[in-house]
Amino acid sequence: MQDIVTYDAPNAQGRGGARHLSAVLPAVSAALGAPVSTRVHADAAGLQTALGIPSARSVLVVLVDGLGFWNVVERKGHAPFLRSLLSDSANSRPISSSFPTTTATALSVFGTGTCPGLTGMTGYSQINPATRELSQMIKFTGGLDPLAVQTQPTVFEQLANAGVRVTTAGLYQFKNSALTQAALRGPKYISGPNAEANALAAAKATHTPGLTYLYIRDADKMGHQYGWRDEHWVSAFETVDEQLRTVVSRAARGTLLIITADHGMISSNPDTRIDIAEHAELREGVDVVGGEPRAVALYAREGASTDEVNALAERWRDFLGSRALVYTKDEAIRAGLYGPGELMREDVRAYLGDILVLATGDVTIVDSRVQTDMATRLPSVHGSLTKAEVDIPLFMDVL
Ligand SMILES: [Zn+2]
């Protein structure tokens, strides 16, 4: 497991601070000559310098869902373009994703340049405090309103307000999706009939100065469905590499290309899977199980006292041993899991589990009472803080 990655300064392992997903768009804003400061990152120009990002009139940021740094390194034989980027010393070190290492949380951190304690998007699923129903945070099911939860301005919005052209190229179905509204609102949204058409549209957009954002989904999807070591994933990875080459060949000369991701992936192991439904000592006192198999949020029975919650945490710790790190809500906030504790929005506390469970190794913690059988047996997963989940690429090149 990595140490907890800090937003304001690097941790003992040199991760975090500027080398963090939250710093990418603020640094890019400075590279475009329109520095945006956020509640977490006040000095966009300082981030640009720390990351070694050159200034440019046109910047193309590509986010490849689920493409962790170590996933790329291990499979680089299949991706000539990414391999050539990786061989550049400027690209040889990863940056860090958020906690949890999950799409909704990471994209809100990326889009706003802040932290989950401010965006309110604290995991794959979290409770709606009004109803105690679970809300899946990509689609905002369960009655949570994307604009009421995610109140931070996005970097895209702030750049657009400053008169910078900002364009997103993505799939049509994501144009007005809850996640787009919450985390990535602001740009002009262009979309073609398929991923390849989106890539071409993004390339075309770079010919006008400003920021172009392209989102590529398929590697993550194939990873969850077949596992990231499976040939389906490799084939998707090869296609992503091809799409990147196409974009680059059609983009305006002098465009600054940045490639990053929201999180990496690990292979799960059926032998280390723990099903809450099968263990009374895990079930007892837990009202709702949220989060996801690598980052579980436990909501205690309503009205549970602090002593009861602490006892529940202790019971989970005893049962899991080295298979997971178990934090109470206060411990998690104090440790900085959701960003600098002093920045945490008061209303965000209610979304967090009373207990947060971070799986180690290849352990998954599922609940067959409420999750589909398929969801409890995904061959590749993410959410926790191992290197393979946290470390993401920050590849850059001037075209
Ligand atoms: Zn993702």
Give the DSSP letter string of 20-39.
BHHHHHHHHHHHTT-----S
DSSP H helices in the chain: 21-31, 44-51, 69-74, 80-86, 103-112, 116-119, 146-149, 155-161, 178-183, 195-205, 218-226, 231-250, 280-283, 306-320, 329-335, 387-390
> What is the 129 CA–ligand 1 centroid distance (Å)?
25
Question: What was the pLDDT predicted at 195?
Answer: 87
* Beta-strand relationship, 395-398 and 58-64: unpaired
* Beta-strand relationship, 295-300 and 266-267: unpaired
Q: Are 213 and 336 members of one domain?
A: no
Q: Are 342 and 391 members of one domain?
A: no
Q: Are 41 and 99 members of one domain?
A: yes
Q: Is residue 3, in this structure, part of any structural domain at all? A: no
Phi then psi for 139, rounded to 5 degrees?
-100, -5
Q: How far apart are CA 175 and CA 218, in angstroms?
A: 17
Question: What was the pLDDT predicted at 205?
Answer: 97
Q: Is residue 39, in this structure, part of any structural domain at all? A: yes
262-301: per-residue pLDDT in tens?
999 999 999 999 999 999 999 999 999 999 999 999 999 9
What CATH number does the domain containing 342 carry?
A: 3.30.1360.180
Q: Are 247 and 274 members of one domain?
A: no
pLDDT over 80 at 223, yes or no: yes
Q: Given pLDDT bands bounded at 50, 70 and 90, which one contains residue 389?
A: very high
> What is the 176 CA–ligand 1 centroid distance (Å)?
18
Q: Are 83 and 211 members of one domain?
A: yes
Q: Are 299 and 206 members of one domain?
A: no
Average pLDDT (306-330) is 97
Question: What was the pLDDT predicted at 22?
Answer: 97
Structurally, how many domains does the chain consist of?
Answer: 2
pLDDT over 80 at 15, yes or no: no
Q: Is residue 147, in this structure, part of any structural domain at all? A: yes
* Beta-strand relationship, 166-169 and 210-216: parallel
Q: How far apart are CA 293 and CA 357, in angstroms?
A: 9
397: which 2 tokens?
């090149």
Q: Given pLDDT bands bounded at 50, 70 and 90, which one contains residue 161?
A: very high
pLDDT over 90 at 135, yes or no: yes
> What is the 53 CA–ligand 1 centroid distance (Å)?
24
Q: Given pLDDT bands bounded at 50, 70 and 90, which one contains residue 1?
A: confident
> What is the 221 CA–ligand 1 centroid distance (Å)?
8
pLDDT over 80 at 187, yes or no: yes
> What is the 283 CA–ligand 1 centroid distance (Å)?
29
pLDDT over 90 at 122, yes or no: yes
Q: Is residue 5, in this structure, part of any structural domain at all? A: no
Q: Are 39 and 165 members of one domain?
A: yes
pLDDT over 90 at 9, yes or no: no
> What is the 233 CA–ligand 1 centroid distance (Å)?
14
> What is the 262 CA–ligand 1 centroid distance (Å)?
5
Q: Is residue 69, in this structure, part of any structural domain at all? A: yes
pLDDT over 90 at 87, yes or no: yes
Q: Is residue 4, in this structure, part of any structural domain at all? A: no
Q: Are 198 and 274 members of one domain?
A: no
> What is the 119 CA–ligand 1 centroid distance (Å)?
17
What CATH number does the domain containing 213 carry?
A: 3.40.720.10
pLDDT over 80 at 6, yes or no: no
* Domain extent for 120: 21-267+386-398
Q: Are 199 and 304 members of one domain?
A: no
pLDDT over 90 at 177, yes or no: yes
Q: Are 43 and 156 members of one domain?
A: yes
pLDDT over 90 at 5, yes or no: no
Q: Are 42 and 69 members of one domain?
A: yes
> What is the 315 CA–ligand 1 centroid distance (Å)?
31
Question: What was the pLDDT predicted at 60?
Answer: 98
Average pLDDT (224-239) is 95
